[in-house]
Structure 1
Amino acid sequence: MILRKSLLATSILAATLGLTACGGSSSNDSTPTTPTTPTTPTNAAPTDITLSSSAVAEDVVGAEVGTLTAADDADTGHTFTTDDVRFTIEDGTLKLNSHHAMNFEQLAEGETITVKVKVTDAGDLTFEKDLVLSVADTASTAGVNVYEFDTKLTGESGSSVSYTGQTARHALSAEIKSYMGKFNAEYIESLGTDAPTIARARLDALWGDYAAVADDEISHLGDSAALAAGYTQTTFSQISGSGKELSGKIAGADASKMYKDWLKEDGSGLVGWTNFGENAKTPEGLVKHYFDLFESQIQKMVGGEQLKDPAGNVITKAYITPEGLDLVQLVQKHTLGALMFSQGTDDYLDDGLTSQNIEAHKDGKSYTSLEHQYDEGFGYFGASRHYLESSDDEIAKKGGRDTHQGKYDANMDGKIDLAAEFVWGNASNAAKRDRGTLQNNVTTDFTAVAMTNFIQGRKIINDNVGVALTAEQMTQVKAHVFGASLAWEKAIAATVVHYINDSLGDYANIEDGEYTADEFASLAKHWGEMKGFGLNFQFSPFSPFADNDLNPKKDSVGPAKFAELHTLFGDAPVLVQADIAAYKTKLEQAREILKVAYDFNEDNVLGW
């Protein structure tokens, strides 16, 4: 037994020596051993990327999607990136950019979105993957994605939202545009020699005599039958009772709440236009000047004078001047700025925020003064209350559901409420410009940024009815106001860029001096929209061009750049052949000013 153990021990020893000695020699072999070289671990590239959630909520600007994880031979040291401009990645979390929200209504049924994500490990090895996301539809919810808030005052259910006066003024402005657009040679002839007087009387009434037009049908929406069948309100008075003159709300009419004195005529008031005829050099004086030019054009046509453009084409539309001014566009676009944008941002959403939030605005009202001031500011933007429930195509009336073309019967009563279910003014333009960036490098979402900020600011106010807002709460409200106002203004600025591009395109047709009447009218229209919208920026204290402490770009952009912008535009399109090339360069310079002022992407600026 002992012998066997000894033999076993000897065998184990021999085997061990055989593993560690060269050639497995005996213990008498003195050849030194060679140590083995340690194996260096090999880094392998990541093999997969996973996301903790595959759905993104709609109507949430900057919404978080989920946490990214890499399948790799190491658990740490991973960096995630994406070139998809809609998204950003922060601390391993995929989220939408701060200027973007998803819109479920923008997608076809069952459509998903794809975002390419790349992971880089500590050894600089990479892996890319297309992550497929669905967009989660958010039900229409008051105070979330619908501008609707219940009253907190009466103890009864009901809305605390009211801005019918703003809607009435939108309708009046649209009516003026429609009415002026009727005046071609044939229509003027049908009115006879009294055409100039008839036209001016109607414009003056629509502008400054609400009592005279309040019970008139809103004809730009259709004839009597169409109005009765399709709309809750068929006359202006059915929108809002009395005292809704445009003249009473244009910048300068109520100087107490304006950040600058618009009635000054020394160059410190209205900037951007030179010739006012016999009128004061004020925002309203400019409207009256355009009316004067319109009346004069009609008078000349009635008197038998043949109006011609510089190429000798006969002008048959009284609102197109031989100098290339489209008076329809100039009047309407200037009004959208000097009245709607001015009142919205410089009145209700600035000084208006100092109003009380404790008790009813007036006896019997379902809202506080602060709620009402905020609503009136929102009303001038022109969005319907269910604005986010339509796609950009639908808001812009460029596709989508037939039931959502610039309006939507949200309460399903068979008619459109003009104060709640109709899209007016710049709210429509915001969608048009968002559509124009879908194929470009950086998408915009002026619609969602403006609307979500409007809703979130109003919710803070509504949640605190009956008590004064704290300093922190008011700071939050003001942040939402700034976000909404800037998105509103960016939509205007993008529209100016759009019409700069259109004007440059028109010049390709007329710079040789030979062009048709339609080509001339096209330049006049696009230039008028460019110039009219371009006058808007000065009316907001939040604007990059404003001389106001609410403007964070006061020192880098400011009023001097605004004056330069309009020096480049001039007061009429350049029509002298020899000067057109230089003027086109000026328009490009103006476009660059807007790009810098609003931090626009180069591809968007060229593509709008």
Structure 2
Amino acid sequence: MLTRRKTIRTTLSAAALAMVTCAPVNGAEVYANFPVTVKGYAGPKTTSVSYSGQIARHVLHDSLKKLISSDLPEDEKYDRLMAFFSGKANGRAIVAPKSQGDFKIKQTTIDALSGGKNLSGKTAKFVVAGMPRGMTGPELVRFWLAKAAASKNGVDLQNGYDYAQLVSKFIIGAVSFNQAVDGYLDEGLAATVKPNDQAYKKGQAYTGKEHVWDEAFGYFGAPAHTLSLTAGDLYHIAKLGKKAKDQKAVMALADHNGDGVVDLKTEMVFGPAYYAAAFDKAATTAGLTSNYSHGIFRAFLDGRKIISAANGEKLSPSQRAALVDLAAQIETAWQTVLAEAVFKYAGSVLKDMSKLQTIVDANGDPKKQFKKYLKHWSELKGFSLALQSGRQDLGDTASKLNRLIGAGPLLLNASQVVDIDRSGNYVRDQGETWAGYMVHMVKVQRLMVDEFGVRVKVNDATSDLTALLKAAGGGANAEND
């Protein structure tokens, strides 16, 4: 878990919980064109909406993930990774997302989105207790990036890490989720912080509260016209239409203003919004009801309407209370999306382990399946740490989660990373039994249901626990973790 100093908001409204499964919101309202309400503003801007810095960080994340998987010489690769994680230099070309086929993207450089931005400055500074050595969020990412640069295509087969997945999923939480719910939607909503009757900064076209809310929205990574798109549409836009039957049709859905290109600032789907939509899409396929993507977006849109309606005056107590309630709804749904991801990838790891067991028992070659296992485990671990990166201290829940998953996957020789020495080397020791670790994955899923109420439950294996416990021999670790 992340070592925290904040207290937990102990209760959440019924509305906050209900938004997870309420009926999808249909309509064509967009998160755009809110007027300038700053008193005395005389500049050229005609709208107060601004969150380009957050979009730049989504693109930095996507580019970093792509670079981790590249096959460059170690020193060159490390320098490029650091340029996208902690650098602020001008001239950085976008590595991902880039135009592909019929899906045309407007921007080609980070500067075209926002200059002087990086990820390290916005990565949660708490000590990450889910990994050894007591590193802070930025320290841990730098450590992983150094390891990624020294690994072929960013995959460490010896210790069991797929760094593109591990870093990506952690940043989705430690940057986007953390900045939104532990900053802008928490302290940022205090009456005395960035008040609405003053410009955010002198000369800006937006008030303090307008920009605070916009920045939180930007970290969610949803297109401004989300309410005119289905979960499937959002999913395919995030994939640049590559998984759709008709890429041109996906391009048309993304290109809301019809100018022939997708504007990354307002028309693209990024990490947090992608996963919200992916689980909504999975729910529809399974005949379930889920509304993470539209629910979170609607809460952001409704909050922005409240702020705009204040017309540049201080927010009234009732207006601010309404924003706080909407922020709680956003936090709950967003946190549950991360828990859904932990649930899903615990199931993926379990499936991989079963397949690996079959291959090994048949004296087959496990290499291909082992790489899939490392990919899914790294996604699981990254999301488990992302889940712990919000405003709340998850306490015993985080401790259980970290213990069940461990610091590294169980390897085929039954060893597992248990520590990192002073020189930065991984230390492996005997781990859980294979069957026992499979039990751990099911217990991770049950923990997500019990503590966060996940409902879509992709790759659900919770009904298999009894059989897995029997296969594990009812060992103490399997029973008590």
Alignment TM-score > 0.5, same fold: yes
Name the CA distance, whole Å, in 1 between partners of 2:452 and 2:223.
26
CA change 1:406–1:447 in 2 (3 A) is farther
Pairing partner for 1:519 from 359, 365, 369: 369
The Cα of 1:399 is off from its aligned counterpart by 4.4
Per the normalisation by structure 1, the TM-score is 0.63
- Note the C-alpha offset of 1:141: 2.8
- Cα separation, 2, equivalents of 1:465 and 1:400: 46
**1:524 partner letter:** L
Corresponding letter in the other structure for 2:273: A
1:432 is matched with which residue: 258, 278, 287?
278
Distance 1:97 1:294, change over 3 A: closer
The 5 Å alignment of 1:224-243 reads 230-242=104-116
Do 1:176 and 1:203's aligned partners in 2 also have CA atoms closer than 8 Å?
yes
Q: Report deviation, 1:410.
A: 1.3
Match of 2:5 in 1: none
Name the counterpart of 1:535.
385
Going from structure 1 to structure 2, the CA distance change for 1:297 and 1:182 (only over 3 Å counts) comes to: closer
Answer whether contact 1:407 1:421 (CA < 8 A) is retained: no
d(CA) in 2 for partners of 1:97 and 1:390?
A: 18
Match of 1:219 in 2: 95
- 144, 148, 171: which is aligned to 1:290? 144
Q: Tell me what 1:99 maps to.
A: 21
Q: Determine the C-alpha separation between the residues in 2 that align with 1:560 and 1:508.
A: 29
- For 2:227 and 2:47, locate their aligned partners in 1 and report how far apart those are by CA, in whole Å: 19
Paired letter, 1:580: W
Give distance in 2, aligned partners of 1:292 and 1:219: 19
Letter in 1 for 2:112: Q
Q: What is the CA-CA distance between 1:377 and the residue it aligns to?
A: 0.8
**AA in 1 matched with 2:289:** T
- How far is 1:505 from its partner? 0.9
* Structure 1 residues 27-176: aligned runs within 5 Å: 99-102=21-24, 138=27, 140-142=28-30, 146-153=31-38, 154=41, 158-176=46-64
- Alignment identity in percent? 28
Contact 2:277/2:292 (8 A) holds in 1: yes
Change (3 A) 1:603 1:285: closer
- Give the AA of the match of 2:332: L
Structure 1 stretch 319-328 or stretch 375-384: which is displaced more? 319-328
Deviation at 1:605, TM superposition (A): 6.6
Q: CA deviation at 1:462?
A: 1.0
- Letter aligned with residue 382 of structure 1: G
Match for residue 209 of structure 2? 370
1:239-258 alignment, distance < 5 Å = 239-242=113-116, 244-252=117-125
Cα contact 2:24–2:295 (8 A) shared by 1: no
Over 3 Å counting, the alpha-carbon distance change for 1:203 and 1:485 in structure 2 is: same
* Residue of structure 1 in register with 2:337 after alignment: 491
C-alpha distance in 1, partners of 2:19/2:207? 35
Mapped to 1, the partners of 2:365 and 2:294 lie a distance apart of 41
* Structure 2 equivalent of residue 199 of structure 1: 77
Alignment partners' CA distance in 2, 1:468 and 1:432:
38
Show the counterpart of 2:292: 446
In structure 1, runs of 5+ residues without a counterpart are 1-60, 63-95, 105-137, 189-194, 253-261, 263-268, 299-316, 548-557
1:246-268 superposed Cα distances (whole Å, 9 cap, x missing partner): 1111112xxxxxxxxx2xxxxxx
Does residue 273 of structure 1 match 2:167?
no
- Match of 1:422, SS state, is coil
- Take 2:377 and 2:74, find their aligned partners in 1: how far apart are those partners? 25
Equivalent residue for 1:324, pick from 152, 157, 160: 160
- 2:176 aligns with one of 316, 327, 340: 340
CA contact under 8 A between 1:251 and 1:338: conserved in structure 2? yes
Q: CA deviation at 1:456?
A: 0.8
**Any idea what SS the aligned residue of 1:221 has?**
coil
**CA–CA separation in structure 2 for the residues paired with 1:351 and 1:510:** 47
Distance in structure 1 (CA, Å) of the matches to 2:98 and 2:335: 30
Counterpart position of 2:187 = 351
* Separation in structure 2 between the aligned mates of residue 463 and residue 323 of structure 1, nearest angstrom: 55
Distance 2:230 2:49 in 1: 24
* 1:296 Cα deviation after fit: 3.0
Which string of whole-angstrom CA distances, capped at 9 and with x for unpartnered residues, describes residues 108-136 of structure 1? xxxxxxxxxxxxxxxxxxxxxxxxxxxxx
Counterpart amino acid of residue 493 in structure 1: A
In the TM superposition, residue 569 of structure 1 has moved relative to its aligned partner by: 0.4
Q: Counterparts of 2:461 and 2:356 in 1: how far apart (Å)? A: 22
Cα RMSD, aligned residues only: 2.7
In 1: Cα distance, 2:355 partner to 2:365 partner:
6
Distance apart, 1:518 and its partner CA: 1.8
Q: Are 2:343 and 1:464 aligned? A: no
How many Å apart are 1:148 and its aligned residue?
Answer: 4.5
Aligned AA (1:251):
A
SS across alignment from 2:36: coil
Q: Retained in 1: the 8 A contact 2:346–2:441?
A: yes
Q: 1:50-82 CA distances to partner (integer Å, 9 max, x unpaired)?
A: xxxxxxxxxxx99xxxxxxxxxxxxxxxxxxxx
State the AA in 2 paired with 1:271: A
CA contact 2:23–2:289 (8 Å) conserved in 1:
no
1:179 counterpart = 2:53:
no
The code of the aligned residue for 1:230 comes to K
1:283/1:148 Cα in 2 relative to 1: closer, same or farther (>3 Å)?
same
Kindly tell me: are residues 150 and 404 of structure 1, through their superposed partners in 2, closer, same or farther at Cα, counting changes over 3 Å? Answer: farther
Query: Per-residue CA shift, 1:69-106, capped at 9, x if unaligned?
Result: xxxxxxxxxxxxxxxxxxxxxxxxxxx987322366xx
Alpha-carbon shift at residue 201 of structure 1 (Å): 0.9
Cα separation, partners in 2 of 1:407 and 1:381, compared to 1, 3 Å: farther
Check whether the contact 2:166–2:382 (CA below 8 A) recurs between aligned residues: yes
- Paired AA for residue 272 in structure 1: G
Contact 1:595 1:605 in 2 (8 A): no
The superposition leaves residues 286-336 of structure 1 with CA deviations (integer Å, 9 ceiling, x where unpaired) of: 1112122223335xxxxxxxxxxxxxxxxxx44233222101111111111
- Which structure has the highest strand share of the two? 1
Amino acid paired to 2:337? A
Aligned residues: 412
Task: Tell me how far apart the structure 1 counterparts of residues 343 and 274 of structure 2 sit (CA, whole Å).
Answer: 16
Q: Cα offset for 1:506?
A: 0.7
Higher relative CO (Cα under 8 Å, sequence separation at least 6) belongs to 2
Question: What is the deviation of 1:603?
Answer: 6.2
Pair member with larger Rg: 1
With over 3 angstroms needed to count, the CA separation of the structure-2 counterparts of 1:209 and 1:600, relative to structure 1, is closer
